[in-house]
């Protein structure tokens, strides 16, 4: 960073704006969001600035501009529109050791004004060090959509009650108390406009000495990490990672995803390599339950979607048998991510109206399931974990009258920085995969449109070897 982001206190301090036209008015609108003493330095003021002075929102100084004028000010904006005069004023402000921003002259700026999302007292500032202000405004728009307009009021309520919480809630329970306020019933009530109800909930909990709890246990959230790229996580998934006390993850979860977790969350790697599980499933189940029984918020982070070939049913049964509250947070599954990366929809209007997800290995004996029952016109067939079984899968497709020349796309590390795409055919896919050296989990997606027979339909077979 070439500029360090920070907030400057304005209470009881002067902010000067040198200029009396539109540029000065733009800065005045910004500073009026604060409680600073706004001083307008100019011989003449336009109508908007004159109205501010008349209403008592700003002072007008029309005398000589000297360095002493800027002594002790929090900051100064120079916005006269005359480059030469602006440079001269910059020298005076600098001599007074006052931070200065000269409009449209970045080389003369100690300060730059960010794009601001205002939910007072919650303020989000977005800066690009002057390199891309349009990008800054785009990011501002996205954040504006994420934060409800009345969010600042809830933060203000929390600020007024912070001392009381420190006096009534034991230190060990304060994080849970504030998490409950900002993520549970009070936040939900406040967001829908029931602000009195939210305040009552907070005060009742404070009187009881802590956040309400329906169970002495903690909770487990089974969170889909998606195919790899962290910007494919849902907002809810990111929220659960930020709330987690402990996170169980395996080798298929990209390291970038873990960067979204709370810094002080405990992270437990459970291994899980295909064919050689460092942690057997029953050991994972027991460890997750044990952490939740300690009253901790547990995240079981699974690649793709936790409910698709992620052994979620086993982990859910273990948690529910122990009386642990559970939540499932869906994620982008590998079939969807692979199709998106390849630019191929999984269904097409008038061509495919059925999507089948199946595994290439039977859980019980490791055998390849009979794929023929799925091969019908109008179907997209997505086969997970197929790299090591590609030869038998190819034989089954050919036996079901799928054209040997049907195109195949082999995609590795879907959505990740090292994503790779290899093209081949149904008859050649096993040899191509072997030559590429690609190993691990795979998805084979075969599209069988309504409009053609199986032997001549020109199927598209997509291999996702990433998430």
How many Å apart are CA 56 and CA 59, to the nearest integer? 7
Report the domain count for the chain: 4
Do residues 310 and 342 both lie within one domain? no
Residues 411 and 322 in one domain: no
Looking up residue 99, the CATH number of its domain turns out to be: 3.40.50.720
SS3 225: coil
Tell me the average pLDDT across 16-41. Answer: 96
309 located within any domain: yes
Q: Of 281, 315, 332, which marks where a domain is finished?
A: 332
pLDDT at 276 over 70: no
Residue 107 vs residues 87, 91, 104, 112, 129: alpha-carbon distances, Å: 10, 13, 9, 11, 11
Same domain, 27 and 64: yes
pLDDT in tens, 330-373: 999 988 998 888 888 888 888 889 998 988 876 566 677 888 88
**Range from 78-82, 110-114, 185-189, 231-235 that averages highest in pLDDT:** 78-82
Q: Are 40 and 24 in contact (CB under 8 A)?
A: yes
Residue 126 in any domain: the answer is no
Summarize pLDDT for 428-452 with one digit per residue, the tens.
888 988 888 877 677 777 777 775 4
User: How much is the pLDDT for 273?
Assistant: 54
Q: Which residues contact residue 442 at a Cβ distance below 8 angstroms, ignoring those fewer than 6 apart?
A: 360, 383, 384, 385, 386, 387, 390, 463, 464, 465
Q: What is the CATH number of the domain that holds 314?
A: 3.40.1010.10
Active site residue 250: yes
Residue 163 clears pLDDT 90, i.e. is over it: yes
Same-domain check for residues 29 and 55: yes
Instruction: Output 60 or 146, whichever has higher pLDDT.
Output: 60
Of 87, 113, 139, the last residue of a domain is: 113
324 plus 347 within the same structural domain: no
Collapse the DSSP code of 206 into the 3-class scheme (helix H, G, I; strand E, B; otherwise coil) and give the result: helix
Sorting pLDDT into bands at 50, 70 and 90, what band is 44? very high
458 in the same domain as 368:
yes
Check which CATH number belongs to the domain holding 442 and give it: 3.30.950.10
pLDDT computed for residue 404 by the predictor: 85
The answer to the question of residue 60 being in a domain is yes
Decide which of 63, 98, 113 is a domain's last residue. Answer: 113
DSSP string, 284-353: HHHHHHHHHHTT-EEEEEESB-TTSSS-HHHHHHHHHHTT-EEEEE----HHHHHHHHHT--S-BTTTB-
Give residue-wise pLDDT tens across range 91-130. Answer: 999 999 999 999 989 889 999 888 899 999 999 999 988 7
Q: Are residues 351 and 385 in the same domain?
A: yes
Same domain flag for 351 and 455: yes
The mean pLDDT of the chain is 87
Q: Which domain holds residue 97?
A: 14-113
In a domain? residue 131: no
Q: Please report where in the chains the tokens 């009258």 appear, as a residue.
A: 401
Residue 122 inside a domain? The answer is: no
Catalytic residue among 176, 254, 272, 285, which? Answer: 272
Give the chain's length. Answer: 467
pLDDT in tens, 379-432: 888 888 878 888 888 888 888 888 787 777 777 777 878 777 778 788 888 898
Other beta carbons within 10 Å of 49: 24
Task: Considering the candidates 86, 176, 245, 250, report the single residue annotated as catalytic.
Answer: 250
Instruction: Examine the domain organization and report whether 253 and 231 are in the same domain.
Output: yes
pTM to 2 decimals? 0.62
Q: In the prediction, which pLDDT does 461 show? A: 43
Residue 450 in tokens:
């309504």
272 is catalytic: yes
């Amino acid at each position: 960073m070439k500029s360090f982001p920070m907030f400057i206190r304005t209470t009881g301090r002067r902010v000067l704006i040198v200029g009396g036209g539109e540029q000065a008015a733009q800065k005045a609108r910004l500073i009026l969001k604060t409680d600073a003493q706004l001083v307008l330095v100019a011989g003449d003021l336009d109508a908007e600035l004159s109205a501010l002075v008349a209403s008592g929102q700003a002072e007008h100084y029309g005398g000589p501009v000297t360095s002493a004028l800027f002594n002790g000010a929090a900051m100064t904006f120079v916005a006269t529109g005359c480059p030469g005069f602006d440079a001269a004023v910059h020298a005076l402000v600098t001599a007074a050791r006052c931070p200065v921003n000269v409009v449209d002259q970045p080389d003369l700026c100690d300060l730059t004004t960010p794009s601001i999302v205002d939910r007072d007292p919650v303020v989000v500032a977005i800066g690009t060090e002057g390199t891309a202000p349009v990008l800054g405004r785009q990011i501002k728009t996205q954040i504006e959509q994420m934060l409800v307009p009345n969010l600042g009021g809830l933060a203000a309520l929390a600020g007024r009650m912070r001392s009381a919480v420190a006096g009534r809630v034991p230190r060990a329970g304060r994080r849970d108390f504030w998490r409950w306020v900002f993520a549970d019933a009070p936040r939900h009530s406040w967001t829908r406009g029931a602000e009195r109800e939210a305040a009552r909930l907070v005060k009742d909990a404070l009187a009881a000495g802590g956040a309400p709890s329906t169970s002495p246990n903690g909770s487990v959230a089974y969170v889909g990490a998606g195919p790899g790229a962290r910007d494919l996580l849902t907002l809810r998934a990111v929220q659960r990672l930020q709330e987690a006390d402990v996170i169980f993850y395996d080798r298929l979860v990209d390291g970038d995803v873990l960067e979204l977790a709370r810094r002080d969350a405990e992270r437990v790697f459970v291994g899980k390599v295909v064919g050689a599980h460092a942690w057997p499933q029953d050991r994972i189940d027991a460890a997750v339950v044990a952490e939740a029984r300690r009253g901790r918020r547990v995240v079981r982070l699974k690649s793709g979607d936790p409910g698709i070939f992620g052994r979620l049913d086993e982990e859910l049964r273990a948690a529910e048998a122990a009386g642990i509250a559970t939540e499932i947070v869906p994620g982008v599954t590998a079939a969807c991510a692979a199709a998106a990366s390849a630019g191929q929809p999984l269904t097409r209007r008038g061509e495919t109206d059925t999507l089948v997800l199946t595994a290439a290995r039977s859980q019980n004996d490791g055998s390849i399931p009979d794929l023929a029952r799925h091969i019908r016109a109008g179907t997209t067939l997505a086969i997970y974990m197929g790299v090591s079984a590609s030869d038998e899968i190819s034989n089954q497709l050919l036996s079901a009258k799928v054209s040997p020349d049907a195109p195949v796309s082999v995609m590795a590390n879907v959505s990740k920085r090292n994503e790779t795409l290899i093209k081949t055919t149904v008859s050649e896919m096993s040899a191509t995969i072997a030559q590429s050296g690609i190993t691990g989990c795979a998805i084979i997606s075969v599209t069988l449109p309504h409009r053609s027979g199986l032997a001549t339909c020109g199927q598209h077979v997509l291999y996702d070897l990433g998430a």
